[in-house]
Chain A
Amino acid sequence: MKTYLTPKFMVQRDPERCIQCQVCVNQCSFDAHYYDAEDNEVRSREENCVGCHRCTLFCPTRALTISRNPQDYRENYNWRPEVIEDILKQAETGGVLLTGMGNDKGQRIYWDHLVLNASQVTNPSIDPLREPMELTTYLGRKPDQVELDSETLELKTELAPQISLEVPVMFAAMSYGAVSLNVHESLARAATEMGTLWNTGEGGLHPKLYKYGNNTIVQVASGRFGVHAEYLSAARVVEIKIGQGAKPGIGGHLPGEKVSSEVSLTRMIPQGTDALSPSPQHDIYSIEDLAQLIYALKEATNYSKPISVKIAAVHNSAAIASGMVRAGADIIVLDGLRGATGAAPKVIRDNVGIPIELALASVDSRLRKEGIRNRASIVVSGGIRNSGDIAKAIALGADAVNIGTAALVALGCHVCQQCHTGKCAWGICTTDLRLTKRVNPDIGARRLSNLLRGWSIELKDILGGMGINALESLRGNRLHLRGIGLTDTELEILGIRMAGD
């Protein structure tokens, strides 16, 4: 069938600069460049270009420019190009539209409407370059009260297992199979170096990475892939995945062609078979059932590790979170509307769930109101882009954040949203060995560590400016936030005042 879709991008090749070296042909995994041997000329198939910039960055003579196809449709606010193109794709295939990465639509990004406070005159700001600043964060259940031995002044209360993070940023769950082993290794090594945690996602843990277990969160999801005794005992935290922000309420299908022999090793399924994750976990139909799995995992790990539960942020997250805490979750992870994915139906990604800022504020408020906020740590994810977002999340009530997309961008991702194709030209979201070697774990780990190091310094600057010397003092301290351009209801849900007030 002839496609009625017009190419999204234009490839401009400067004939003066192009030396026909074919680097672009080799770099492009979407076949947007090819070499015509008869004419000894490199040419383009623009309809295949996804705008990932791999070729432009690797072209030795900088002969390439990728730009949006300027071809216009007649102006129509309702029938925008994306709407038209989606219909064309479905008319040509009859399938569900798949996509990767997170929601790219214009729902309000509340981080951009929040501003932070700083000290002026009435209290001194602190210079973090010369004074100690504390970013250490402890995740895990905190006791309702503590008791000290009156003589030795030692703690008598028995504490639940705690995790100490040197930066309040962890790497979000991304499974091996969705991303490559080199990405996993980069994340694991950076987490170890920076004193934080990375997360296996639901695809198991490669034997090569067991040595990073002390900095690893392992997931138990509906497919139970690769879940076995050593996997659970290798981890620092065990996480039950109920949902994810990019696709609340639905499961996942890792296509058989991505289940290579190595992926089969960690998922513990035969090579080439589809790895199907059912939508629900069929042993969890209620909060009571969740408690049952939480305690099954506590039993399986001898109560030595915090059990985390991850949900997508949805309309009644606050009530669900209350149930999760009461069910015994030591850490709750909320993943918002802009959370990303290796593959999800587009209609789900772009329309289901709520922004993380609102979910975080309402969950934190609800748990405080019920007097159980201490019983679980809150970790948020889904669109955390920089240290400003992190400071705002912590002031809204988060204990720590997870970054997925930001971490991949650090590794080279240009957010071209083709994760679901398995052809990632940056070698990140693919299991094709020809492509995965494009991420070198030595360099990858360094790039990720650099990012966290930069953000740590910025966070200390932000804290110092507020006259605070420990992140703990900013946590849930919403007086340090003000809103701009928000309605009364939005301000009320966020629990903050209008700027100027």
Chain B
Amino acid sequence: MVRDKPNEVVKIDASGVFFRELNARLQETFSVGTRKVELQNVYGQRYIGTNLDKPVEIEIFGTPGNDLGAFMNGPKIIVQGNAQDGCGNTMNSGEIIVHGHAGDIVGLAARGGKIFIREDVGYRAGIHMKEYQDKKPVLVIGGTAQDFLGEYMAGGILILLGMNLAEGKCHKAKFIGTGMHGGVIYLRGTVEDYQLGKEVGIAELEEKDYQILRQLVGEFAAHFGYDAEEILKHKFIKLFPRWLRPYGRLYAY
């Protein structure tokens, strides 16, 4: 059966539905040509968006469970609420927009796609993101992050805006960019040297950095109703990997 009105938004009430059944229902709904689903009363169901493999849209009301969009390839997910751990885990392409907080390891090992978190994230956000050919994962965080932000980062763009930090307050994350060997982190707001991993260097932004920021902060602002110009007025610093092979000289033979 092919749906007559693909533009119609299908609403699914997720309350009391086990994740396996919910995801099967999503897959079935999209398989007949639906383009957008609104999930209501989501309470912790995992793996939403994992096995869809096409550019469809899911708007989630409530709190999706861990591994939201894990291994995701294509869909756009909008969360009207908070996301939990593992959001965008090993994501290949697509977009996740969270109107709230997200838990630990946002964007773990993501290879592509974009993740926008309006507020704070937990530990190890952006860990081991990597880029490949035309794929470049993007993670933009409106608030602040916990320790090990961008750990082992091998590619992609990570932007931390710190918009909820009080004037003059530093970010709290320590070990930022530990083991980083690719990609770039743009940081709005200040950090002390001790908060950075040994493997990152600090640089002033160049014009091409501002171009990237104008684009991505512009998208962030459009998603959440901010003024991009206002955000960009503030000073940014750029963190980059000092070595492409941080552990290359560790061995005797």
B53 touches A229 (CB 8 A): yes
B253 touches A227 (CB 8 A): no
**Contact A256-B132, Cβ < 8 Å, known A224-B109, A282-B108, A292-B46:** no
A268 touches B132 (CB 8 A): yes
Q: Closest 6 A-B residue pairs measured CB to CB? A: A95-B252, A224-B109, A93-B252, A268-B132, A299-B47, A296-B70
A269 touches B154 (CB 8 A): yes
**Contact A228-B89, Cβ < 8 Å, known A268-B111, A295-B46:** no
> When chains A and B are docked, how far (Å) is the Cα of A448 from the Cα of B55?
44
A/B pair count, beta carbons within 8 Å:
135
Q: Scoring B residues 68 to 82 as 1 if CB is less than 8 Å from chain A, else 0, what string do you get?
A: 001101000000000
Please tell me if A383 contacts chain B, counting CB pairs below 8 Å: no
A283 touches B181 (CB 8 A): no
Among the listed B23, B51, B128, B252, which residue makes an inter-chain contact with A94, where contact means beta carbons less than 8 Å apart?
B252
A96 touches B128 (CB 8 A): no
Interface residues in chain A, defined as those with a beta carbon under 8 Å from any beta carbon in chain B: 89-90, 92-99, 220, 222-224, 227-229, 232, 253, 255-256, 264, 268-270, 272-274, 276, 278, 282-283, 292-293, 295-297, 299-302, 420-421
> When chains A and B are docked, how far (Å) is the Cα of A268 from the Cα of B109?
11
Residue in chain A with minimal CB distance to B65: A292
Q: How far is the CB of B220 from chain A (nearest CB, A)?
A: 25
A255 touches B248 (CB 8 A): yes
Among the listed B46, B151, B246, B253, which residue makes an inter-chain contact with A421, where contact means beta carbons less than 8 Å apart?
B253
Can you list 24 A-B contacts with CB-CB less than 8 angstroms, sorted by A residue number? A93-B252, A96-B252, A223-B109, A224-B90, A256-B248, A273-B182, A274-B181, A274-B246, A274-B248, A276-B128, A276-B152, A282-B105, A283-B89, A283-B105, A292-B67, A296-B71, A296-B89, A299-B19, A299-B46, A299-B70, A300-B47, A300-B70, A302-B27, A420-B251
Among the listed B23, B53, B135, B252, which residue makes an inter-chain contact with A97, where contact means beta carbons less than 8 Å apart?
B252
> When chains A and B are docked, how far (Å) is the Cα of A224 from the Cα of B107?
12
- Of the listed residues B73, B135, B152, the one surrounded by the most CB atoms of chain A closer than 10 A to its CB is B152
Q: How far is the CB of B134 from chain A (nearest CB, A)?
A: 12
> When chains A and B are docked, how far (Å) is the Cα of A445 from the Cα of B244?
37
Q: Per DSSP, are chain B's interface residues mostly helix, strand or loop, or mixed?
A: loop
Q: How far is the CB of B58 from chain A (nearest CB, A)?
A: 14
Q: Scoring B residues 104 to 137 as 1 if CB is less than 8 Å from chain A, else 0, what string do you get?
A: 0100110100000000000010011011100100
Q: Scoring B residues 149 to 173 as 1 if CB is less than 8 Å from chain A, else 0, what string do you get?
A: 0011011000000000000000000
Q: How far is the CB of A428 from chain B (nearest CB, A)?
A: 19
Q: How far is the CB of B4 from chain A (nearest CB, A)?
A: 27
A302 touches B244 (CB 8 A): no
CB neighbours of B46 from chain A (8 A): 292, 295-296, 299
Q: How far is the CB of B49 from chain A (nearest CB, A)?
A: 10
> When chains A and B are docked, how far (Å) is the Cα of A224 from the Cα of B127?
11
Among the listed A92, A93, A99, A229, which residue makes an inter-chain contact with B71, where contact means beta carbons less than 8 Å apart?
A229
B155 touches A300 (CB 8 A): no
Among the listed B20, B135, B181, B252, which residue makes an inter-chain contact with A89, where contact means beta carbons less than 8 Å apart?
B252
> When chains A and B are docked, how far (Å) is the Cα of A223 from the Cα of B181?
13
CB neighbours of B132 from chain A (8 A): 264, 268-270
CB neighbours of A227 from chain B (8 A): 71, 90, 109
